[in-house]
Chain A
């Protein structure tokens, strides 16, 4: 393998190309990366557009109880709801969701719904 030798020897004495994850932090995600979803309950008007466009049925809106149910484990982070929301009540962070021991649903109580 003479064509690989220089690289192999260089790699022996250089820093590792990978990050040692549990001991060091991962790199900061790019500013436009699609990560966790946040609902601004003061802006929501319970129109259910987000629930209608969601490809994976991760969002459901309870108009009577004035609640938004969001399942981050069903969510595929496509950001269609963020683009669709006319009230700009949904925002997206660039940090991805961390793993969890149990799957859970998030419930948001909508304040002073204008619907």
Chain B
């Protein structure tokens, strides 16, 4: 049969991310795929060499518009490791609170986009309505809705007092009620969602592991690997168990994210209740010298920062490996064999963030 190449993107109504997938098709069936990236390169790694190491925190936050706090956290951890800075316990707990709030916000955003990708508009709007609670909490505690800018080298810049903590708690219970009442019920039971996601884009455990997948893509295939298990920030004190699903299809990855949203709700509440008293920031003197690698778990998976300092205010090199970069190869396994109409849902199921990937 004759083969046709259908371009998907870089501008596509379903995927707001600029990626082009060259889909080789036989009739309606996809037989080959070639991802093309490079549409939004911003030169952030080079800019990080020109900025001072303290100013880089704000630059790194802007690598991603959704998980900005984790980027700042990962960068700060790398610099703190290099300079031998001990972060006060209260700051570590506050970092967990903001990191998990952004995880809830990212997962809800993605769930809404997934519903939107197969035309389930009412679910999309319900989910984004619930997400607005998290946005308000973020503005209340940090000052901005999305780019929190609270993490700095040596701790955090803002404190959450008991009054704010109470408001966070009540609002999170309100969010949980909204999730329980409609969103969870629809995702677990609705036949339209299941028809579009179950058995679509199957990735086996061995394939996921050998292709180097990370985050919910890996955990949806049954591999229990989450960087939060290493106990960075305050995860050691709080305790952490990764969420794992075994089916390996798009539905399993959706369920991982839904369950992680609930888990993050619990983690925020635990972090707030266990929060020790004390300083939130230590003074950092001098300039970074040496090399350091830091890892954090983003909503999309494992994030790696490598930093090299030479004893001046500027870093010699900053390398950022974002999770979507590790997840792109899985598309080459998941897409061949699927229907052309399933391509948006499967592509979305790895939660791609190409602006992050190209930095």
Q: Residues on A close to B: CB < 8 A?
A: 1, 3-4, 6-8, 11, 17, 29-30, 32-34, 53-56, 76-80, 83
Q: Scan B261-293; emit 1 where CB is below 8 A from any A CB, else 0.
A: 000000000000000000000000000000000
| Docked pose: A33 CA to B149 CA in angstroms | 12
Asked if B182 and A3 sit within 8 Å, CB to CB, the answer is: yes
Cβ-based interface call for B28 (8 A): no
What 8 additional pairs, Cβ within 8 angstroms, besides A4-B123, A11-B122, A34-B143?
A: A1-B122, A3-B186, A6-B182, A7-B182, A55-B57, A56-B58, A76-B149, A79-B149
Asked if B143 and A32 sit within 8 Å, CB to CB, the answer is: yes
Residue of chain B at shortest CB distance from A29: B139
Asked if A4 and B143 sit within 8 Å, CB to CB, the answer is: no
| Chain A residues, Cβ within 8 Å of B58 | 55-56, 76, 78, 80
| Docked pose: A53 CA to B52 CA in angstroms | 9
Cβ-based interface call for B51 (8 A): yes
A sample of 6 inter-chain contacts (CB < 8 A) reads A3-B185, A30-B143, A34-B144, A54-B55, A55-B57, A83-B157
| Docked pose: A30 CA to B126 CA in angstroms | 24
| Chain B residues, Cβ within 8 Å of A55 | 51, 55-59
Contact (A4, B186) CB under 8 Å given A55-B58, A83-B157 = yes
| Chain A residues, Cβ within 8 Å of B54 | 53
| Docked pose: A79 CA to B57 CA in angstroms | 13
Asked if A79 and B143 sit within 8 Å, CB to CB, the answer is: yes
Asked if A17 and B129 sit within 8 Å, CB to CB, the answer is: yes
Cβ-based interface call for B192 (8 A): yes
| Docked pose: A32 CA to B147 CA in angstroms | 14
| Chain A residues, Cβ within 8 Å of B62 | 76
CB distance from A21 to the nearest CB of B (A): 14
| Chain B residues, Cβ within 8 Å of A80 | 58
Q: Scan B174-193; emit 1 where CB is below 8 A from any A CB, else 0.
A: 00000001100110011010
4 tightest Cβ-Cβ pairs between the two chains A and B: A55-B55, A34-B143, A55-B58, A30-B140
Interface residues on B, range: 20 to 34
Selected from A3, A11, A29, A54, the residue in CB contact (under 8 A) with B189 is A3
Asked if B186 and A33 sit within 8 Å, CB to CB, the answer is: no
Contact (A53, B122) CB under 8 Å given A4-B182, A30-B139, A83-B157 = no
| Docked pose: A29 CA to B142 CA in angstroms | 12
Please classify the interface of chain B as helix (H, G, I), strand (E, B), loop, or mixed, using the class held by over half of its residues: helix
| Docked pose: A113 CA to B224 CA in angstroms | 62
Asked if B55 and A53 sit within 8 Å, CB to CB, the answer is: yes
| Chain A residues, Cβ within 8 Å of B157 | 83
| Docked pose: A53 CA to B144 CA in angstroms | 20
| Docked pose: A72 CA to B141 CA in angstroms | 23
| Docked pose: A76 CA to B51 CA in angstroms | 15
Asked if A32 and B140 sit within 8 Å, CB to CB, the answer is: yes
| Docked pose: A4 CA to B189 CA in angstroms | 10
Contact (A33, B144) CB under 8 Å given A4-B122, A53-B54, A55-B59 = yes
| Docked pose: A3 CA to B139 CA in angstroms | 32
| Chain B residues, Cβ within 8 Å of A77 | 144
| Docked pose: A33 CA to B150 CA in angstroms | 12
| Chain A residues, Cβ within 8 Å of B55 | 53-55
| Chain B residues, Cβ within 8 Å of A34 | 143-144, 149
| Docked pose: A32 CA to B139 CA in angstroms | 8
| Chain B residues, Cβ within 8 Å of A76 | 58, 62, 147, 149
CB distance from B314 to the nearest CB of A (A): 13
Q: Scan B189-222; emit 1 where CB is below 8 A from any A CB, else 0.
A: 1101000000000000000000000000000000
| Chain B residues, Cβ within 8 Å of A17 | 129
| Docked pose: A55 CA to B192 CA in angstroms | 48
Asked if A8 and B122 sit within 8 Å, CB to CB, the answer is: yes
Residue of chain B at shortest CB distance from A35: B143
Residue of chain A at shortest CB distance from B178: A7
Asked if B140 and A4 sit within 8 Å, CB to CB, the answer is: no
| Chain A residues, Cβ within 8 Å of B56 | 55
Residue of chain A at shortest CB distance from B123: A4
Asked if A3 and B190 sit within 8 Å, CB to CB, the answer is: yes
Asked if A7 and B51 sit within 8 Å, CB to CB, the answer is: no
| Chain A residues, Cβ within 8 Å of B57 | 55
| Docked pose: A30 CA to B139 CA in angstroms | 7
CB distance from A83 to the nearest CB of B (A): 7
CB distance from A30 to the nearest CB of B (A): 5
Q: Give chain B interface residues in 12-67, CB to chain A under 8 Å.
A: 51, 54-59, 62
